[in-house]
Amino acid sequence: MNIKTIIEPFKIKMVEPIHMNTLSERVELLKKAHYNPFMLQSQDVIIDLLTDSGTSAMSSAQWGAMMEGDESYAGSKSWQKMEHVIYNLTGYKYIIPTHQGRAAERIIYGYLGGKGKCFISNTHFDTTRANIEYSGAEAIDIVIPEGKMPFFEHPFKGNMDVVELERLIQEKGAENIGAVILTVTNNSGGGQPVSMKNTKEVSLICKKYNVCFLIDACRIAENSYFIKHREAEYKNKTYIEIAQEMFSYSDGCTMSAKKDALVNMGGFLAVNNKIIADECMNLLIITEGYVTYGGLSGRDMEAIAVGLEEIFHNDYLTYRIKSTEYLGKKLNEMGVPVVLPIGGHAVYVDAKTLYPQISVDQYPGHSLVCELYLKGGIRSVEIGSLMFGKYDEEGKLIPANMELVRLAIPRRVYTQSHIDYVVEIFEEIIKTKHNVKGYKINYEPKFLRHFTSHLEPLN
Ligand code: F0G
């Protein structure tokens, strides 16, 4: 049998209506939002591909477990369940709950960081970098060169350059390395996976120099899928065994449960070292909450405990990766320049190639984001010079490396017909691509300007 349709491996028993607006309404709504889709109200969005973070649909098992939530301040049963599942998955001795990923980052990098310290990653996610730099430390990205070539096919474009890792440790001095961090999958690098071979190599170098090795595990299950299907020795292992092995090579992890724990809020950090754990627990109690809830309610912890097991189911992971690939492949076939191979949680479109007539200081990625909203009510996010651009002393834009637009797929939320609709909107995008103009910024704040800046279309 040759079955081509990837059916969603779930039935829908609760629905949230989508308000279908018209083109003329969207023209007004976008203008009112100062041409910044972050400022749109969610009810004015038809398909929301802004992020896969905290946007998952929970299962009936998760909602059922939430009724069991034990809201005790200390020693909650729900914490015991969450801790047990995380211990089984990661094997780390000390597990610390937090309200989301960046809270775990603030706590551990606040302690390991500080002036004079250096952190090395394949690619630090924005909040990871921000927490490290806020502590006074330096954050260096060393993804393999293939990871920076958008159309170059390589099975593990998220890998770390291990030659550069060893050189940097020697140059900076092992005692000055705060930690080495592998982000799996590599979100800022296109959602690309990291291989087990690369993880082992990074681990060996860290052991040789006695440097702390941590995993940013937000999308560890999606990464395990790629290892099983792309790294021959792992083809007979289960996804959870692959994740367990990956954790076993490192000294700890941070995780935003808003991704691969299939919940709307939550996170944790976990380590083997008692001194680090004690310091982090002190910071946790001051800023997040007691060690058996850390900013989470009992019901949140129940949902995490169930979600972290559901995520490794074969049917779910196959559907997840195949359905993201489905969108990416369709766009690629119709000539939309997408980052290849397609990553786990999102499809990234190269807007600079799509709109060669728009110069980088007129933000081609932003033009695509606005076109997607105007034509189809689709919300996406620019990952280019609007997000990462800086100015030189003369006020000239220093552009980002790439002008990408991310279409992030919320977990278990949209069906194939929603995705087919996105594909159809892209057909319109392609037809009209020559007429699209750039944007200028009318107002921007000092930091993280993409969230709140005001823009205006150029004529
Ligand atoms: N690490 C990675 C790799 C992430 O992708 C994120 C969040 C975080 C850490 C921080 O976790 O949001 O729970 O505080 N990524 C979201 C995104 C925001 O849209 O990619 P958080």
Ligand 1 atom closest to the Cα of residue 345 is 20
Angstrom distance (rounded) from CA 416 to CA 5? 9
**Number of other CB atoms surrounding residue 379 within 10 Å:** 22
Nearest CA to ligand 1 atom 5: 187
Type of residue numbered 208: K
**Domain covering 60-310, topology:** Aspartate Aminotransferase; domain 2 (3.40.640)
pLDDT for the residue numbered 401: 84
Q: Report CA-CA distances (Å) from 237 to 131, 220, 221, 242, 434.
A: 35, 15, 13, 7, 48
d(CA 125, ligand 1 centre) in Å: 7
Distance in Å from the first CA to the final CA of the chain:
54
Helices (H), 11-76: 23-32, 60-66
d(CA 126, ligand 1 centre) in Å: 8
Angstrom distance (rounded) from CA 123 to CA 129? 9
Q: Where are the domains of the chain?
A: 23-52+313-457, 60-310
Q: Name which of 351, 427, 418 is nearest 378 in CA terms.
A: 418
pLDDT for the residue numbered 186: 94
Angstrom distance (rounded) from CA 28 to CA 19? 16
Q: What is the DSSP letter of 58?
A: P
Ligand 1 atom closest to the Cα of residue 258 is 13
Residue 436 structure tokens: 């699209």
Strand 118-121 with 177-183, pairing: parallel
Strand 346-350 with 404-408, pairing: antiparallel
Strand 138-141 with 177-183, pairing: unpaired
Can you tell me whether residue 77 is helix, strand or coil?
Answer: helix
**Number of other CB atoms surrounding residue 128 within 10 Å:** 25
Where does residue 377 fall: left (phi above 0), alpha (psi -120 to 50 degrees), or beta otherwise?
left
d(CA 53, ligand 1 centre) in Å: 7
Task: Please list every protein residue whose CB sits less than 6 Å from any atom of ligand 1.
Answer: 51, 53, 100-102, 125, 127-128, 183, 187, 216, 218, 256, 258, 267
Q: Name which of 121, 127, 92 is nearest 250 in CA terms.
A: 92
d(CA 132, ligand 1 centre) in Å: 15
d(CA 348, ligand 1 centre) in Å: 16
**Domain covering 23-52+313-457, topology:** Aspartate Aminotransferase, domain 1 (3.90.1150)
pLDDT for the residue numbered 180: 98
Where does residue 72 fall: left (phi above 0), alpha (psi -120 to 50 degrees), or beta otherwise?
beta
Q: Which residue reads 């620019």 in tokens? A: 382
Angle between helices 239-248 and 220-230 (to 10 degrees): 110
CA torsion angle 287 288 290 295 (round to 10): 160
d(CA 256, ligand 1 centre) in Å: 6
Angstrom distance (rounded) from CA 362 to CA 352? 11
pLDDT for the residue numbered 447: 77
Is residue 142 within 8 Å of residue 122, measured between CB atoms? yes
Residue 129 structure tokens: 């970098």
Written as tens digits, the pLDDT of the chain (459 aa) is: 888 888 999 999 999 999 999 999 999 999 999 999 999 999 999 999 999 999 999 999 999 999 999 999 999 999 999 999 999 999 999 999 999 999 999 999 999 999 999 999 999 998 999 999 999 999 999 999 999 998 999 999 999 999 999 999 999 999 999 999 999 999 988 899 999 999 999 999 999 999 999 999 999 999 999 999 999 999 999 999 999 999 999 999 999 999 999 999 999 999 999 999 999 999 999 999 999 999 999 999 999 999 999 999 999 999 999 999 999 999 999 999 999 999 999 999 999 999 999 999 999 999 999 999 999 999 999 999 999 888 999 999 999 888 999 999 999 999 999 999 999 999 999 999 999 999 999 999 887 889 999 999 998
- What is the pTM assigned to this prediction? 0.96
Secondary structure tally for the chain: helices H, strands E: 17, 16
Q: Which residues pair with 48 in a beta bridge?
A: 379
Give the Cα-Cα-Cα angle 333, 183, 53 (nearest 5 degrees): 70
- Length of the chain counted residue by residue: 459
Helices (H), 356-399: 364-376, 385-388
Ligand 1 atom closest to the Cα of residue 102 is 14
Q: What is the DSSP letter of 38?
A: G
Residue by residue, DSSP assigns 128-144 as HHHHHHHTT-EEEE-B-
Nearest CA to ligand 1 atom 11: 101
Which of 38, 259, 304, 407 gets mutated to test ligand 1 (max ligand atoms within 8 A of its CB)? 259
Q: Name which of 165, 130, 118, 128 is nearest 144 in CA terms.
A: 165
